[in-house]
Amino acid sequence: MSLPDFLKSLDDLMDEARKSLESVDSGDALEALRVKFVGAKSGVLKTVQKMMGVIDVSDKPSAGKRFNEVRDAIQLAIDQAAEKLGGGGSSSKSGPMIDPTLPGVRPSLGQLHPITQTIEHLKEIMSRLGFSVTEGPEIEDTWHNFVALNIPEDHPARDPLDNFYLATAKKQVGGNPADRDAMLLRSQTSTVQIRVMEKQSLPLRIISLGRVYRPDAPDATHFPMFHQMEGLWVDKHVTMAQLKSVLRLFATSYLGSDVRVRFRPSFFPFTEPSVEVDYWWNGQWIEFGGAGMVDPNVFGHLNIDPEQWSGFAFGLGVERLCMRRFGITDIRDLYRSDVRFLRQFAS
């Protein structure tokens, strides 16, 4: 085929396309024309393109150039016709704005931090055992953090190197004891025992979950801020046997029925006798915290008669419970705020 013939057939095609597109009045008709002219399989343009194969090599560049112009012009005319019909159309450029065949985009949902999940779970278990939930302040005075808990002035637990004393916060209270006005970030939730016994009438059965602070260098098992669950039960005849039952019931609810509980003799200034609580779980003994019978000296600070009332208290590390259950091995991972890590522990 000669070049002039080829160009002539392109011009004819262009005319025909323009004319029929001008008068098109429905989406279906437009679609039919689209298929007829630019259809990928047997559109007229495709047929014309094939004719280029028999054109002289030296004429090919001009034939190709004109072919491209005509193809673009027809496509443009189709797009314009589609726009005139109300944006419908189904040619590639003016296709529907939303492609229903694309995979959907899942909105990302937030979720509770593993520690928050653990706290909620612990509260739920303990409230089934009749414990109500209370809270205490994280900025404490030395009275609640030490003195009333029977921790004397010279006790190593009060060492400034082991506590976050606050240089600026001073509690303005008159009179003695002299050190009542020193403030610190509480180092234990046992403070809440004192606050509850100051306010509430007996008998009482409470837990308190919250943050505590100690200037420990962070490593896989230490962090300067962590959480504790404190428990306190004061009534007329509370015994060590009840303490053990409660901690066993708690452990089996939280970790599973194959958990065993072990008490080891220990010492805490605010309990007498005192024990260290271990759980046997997945083949090893794991230390979860301390417990004991409320020391009569603590009752004394609160004008509670130790002849009439007895009580037990316990304090467990929340991170340990959380990490055991979720299989987390480094406490620092909990506080890096890396959602890729935290997202694994969906509630």
Rounded to 5°, the CA angle 276-301-242 comes to: 35
* Binding footprint of ligand DAH, residue count (CB under 6 A): 12
User: Could you say whether residue 289 binds ligand DAH (CB under 6 A)?
Assistant: yes
Q: Which residue has the tokens 């901690």?
A: 247
145 contacts ligand DAH (rule: CB under 6 A): no
3-state DSSP call for residue 339? helix
Q: Distance from CA of residue 123 to its chain's centroid?
A: 19
Cβ closest to ligand DAH, residue 254 vs residue 288: 288
- Check residue 190 for interaction with ligand DAH (CB under 6 A): yes
Half-sphere exposure of 32 (CA within 13 A, CB side): 7
Q: Which residues of 133-159 are buried (b: 16+ CB within 10 A; e: fewer)?
A: ebebeeebbbbbbbbbbbbeeeeebbe
In the bound state with ligand DAH, the residue whose beta carbon lies nearer, of 136 and 290, is 290
8 A C-beta contact, residue 229 and residue 249: no
Cα-only R_g, the chain: 39
Question: Smallest gap, in angstroms, from Cβ of residue 173 to ligand DAH?
Answer: 24
* Beta carbon nearer to ligand DAH, 141 or 230: 230
Residue number, 234 or 313, with CB nearest to ligand DAH: 313
Which one of 53-61, 100-108, 129-137, 308-316 is the stretch in contact with ligand DAH (CB under 6 A)? 308-316
Residue 188 makes contact with ligand DAH by CB under 6 A: yes
- The CA-CA-CA angle for residues 263, 290, 316, to 5°, reads 115
Which of 292, 299, 309, 320 lies at the binding interface for ligand DAH (CB under 6 A)?
A: 292
Stretch that binds ligand DAH, among 96-104, 255-263, 290-298, 325-333 (CB under 6 A): 290-298
Q: What is the C-alpha to C-alpha distance for residues 193 and 21, in angstroms, rounded to an integer?
A: 86
Is 134 a residue that touches ligand DAH (CB under 6 A)? no
Residue closer to ligand DAH by CB (options 163, 188) is 188
Lookup: tokens for 33: 């024309």
Binding to ligand DAH in span 226-245, by CB under 6 A: 230
Give CA separation, 345 vs 105, 113, 124, 222, in Å.
22, 8, 19, 21
Look up residue 212 and give its two tokens: 């505590």
CB 268 to ligand DAH: min, Å: 4
Closest separation in Å from C-beta 137 to ligand DAH: 16
CB distance 309 to 315 below 8 Å = no
Q: Which of these segments, 45-53, 89-97, 105-113, 286-294, binds ligand DAH (CB under 6 A)?
A: 286-294
Contact footprint for ligand DAH (CB under 6 A): 188, 190, 230, 268, 271, 289-292, 313-315
